[in-house]
Amino acid sequence: MSLLLLGIETSCDETAAAVVAGGRRIRSNIISSQIELHQPFGGVVPELASRKHLQNINPIIGEALREAGVGWGDLAGIAVTHGPGLVGALLVGLTVAKALAFARRLPLVAVNHLEGHIYANYLAHPSLEPPFIALVVSGGHTDLVHVLGHGEYHPLGQTRDDAAGEAFDKVARVLGLGYPGGPLLDAAARGGNPQAIDFPRAVLKDAPLDFSFSGVKTAVLNYHNQQRQRGKEINVADVAASFQAAVVEVLVDKTLLAAKTLSLDKVAICGGVAANSALREHFRIRGAEAGLEILSPPPILCTDNAAMIAAAGYHRLKAGCFAPLDLNAVPNLPLIGGK
């Protein structure tokens, strides 16, 4: 019988709980979004997010167990995100997970949020096994990772400033598209010309696999301000499409370079920005040209969810990597190698 894990995720503004069997099969995956709560502010307000998690966490866990058709006695352990993320939000899920682990006498497994995103691909592609290249691209992170084995990672590159998703959100705000910026900018870009404006692509000669998106973000802001000062109408669709093309090109180029450098034939993209339609299409085309297998989760597993946390926790549970009950939240937790 496959081991059942309860996963809990509260690193930002989604309250999520899930039950996963054997690290691969989703029995339930419940997500409560806070988009409407944060929309008036144009971004996540940490204090509001924490309070909403407090309201939602217990009902969400109960719903996950009911949908999976399991009770506490059926679970082999509890996996929870302990970083990176918003410290107040992390503490809600972590505190509840520790209390449940103690009360139900279940092993507690600590999961890195970035590792969880990588494991979304294991859920979507049950035959996937390391080694492969992972591009973790979200609102807070843009990382290239060599996945050597379960729980074994070697960082290849990261952003030196803005994460790709952060740049998407900021540009969407400037263009008046609203919140959340990423999906809205993606939608706007479908009606625009990606070659209308030649926004810059950062080249980092000293670290070719690192990223930088502050330059292209600033270029968009400057373009927007210059057009307004000249009294010219701004074609929002063209700006969105041109900006998106610049970001996507860099993400794809550097990921394929990493795969070529390490002679790997599998690439997995993950994180919220992995749901971007242009990114997925460019990876499909360029990957086929390079003879690479390009893997990505469905959009529901790209954004924050607890199924990915339970999937990652499964392998840590099997390896006997249990967390102590004094486990604390680590808002800047890095993804490092080792089990």
Domains of the chain as residue ranges with CATH: 4-119+302-318 (3.30.420.40), 130-297 (3.30.420.40)
Closest CA to 30 of 310, 269, 297: 310
Question: What pTM does this model have?
Answer: 0.94
* pLDDT tens digit sequence for 4-52: 999 999 999 999 999 999 999 999 999 999 999 999 998 899 999 999 9
* pLDDT tens digit sequence for 142-157: 999 999 999 899 999 9
Q: Confidence band (pLDDT; 50, 70, 90) for 338?
A: very low
Tokens 């690193």 correspond to what residue? 11
**Structural contact between residues 29 and 7, judged by C-beta atoms closer than 8 angstroms:** no
- Rounded to the nearest integer, the mean pLDDT of the chain is 95
User: What is the SS3 assignment for 203?
Assistant: coil
Number of Cα atoms under 13 Å in the Cβ half of residue 317: 26
Q: H helices within the chain, ranges in order? A: 35-38, 46-68, 87-104, 113-124, 164-174, 181-189, 214-229, 236-262, 277-290, 299-302, 307-318
* pLDDT tens digit sequence for 80-115: 999 999 999 999 999 999 999 999 999 999 999 999
Checking if the pLDDT of 60 tops 80, the result is: yes
In this prediction, what percent of the chain has a pLDDT beyond 90? 94
Q: How many helices (H) and strands (E) does the chain have?
A: 11, 10
CA distance 223 to 292: 36
**Structural contact between residues 73 and 311, judged by C-beta atoms closer than 8 angstroms:** no
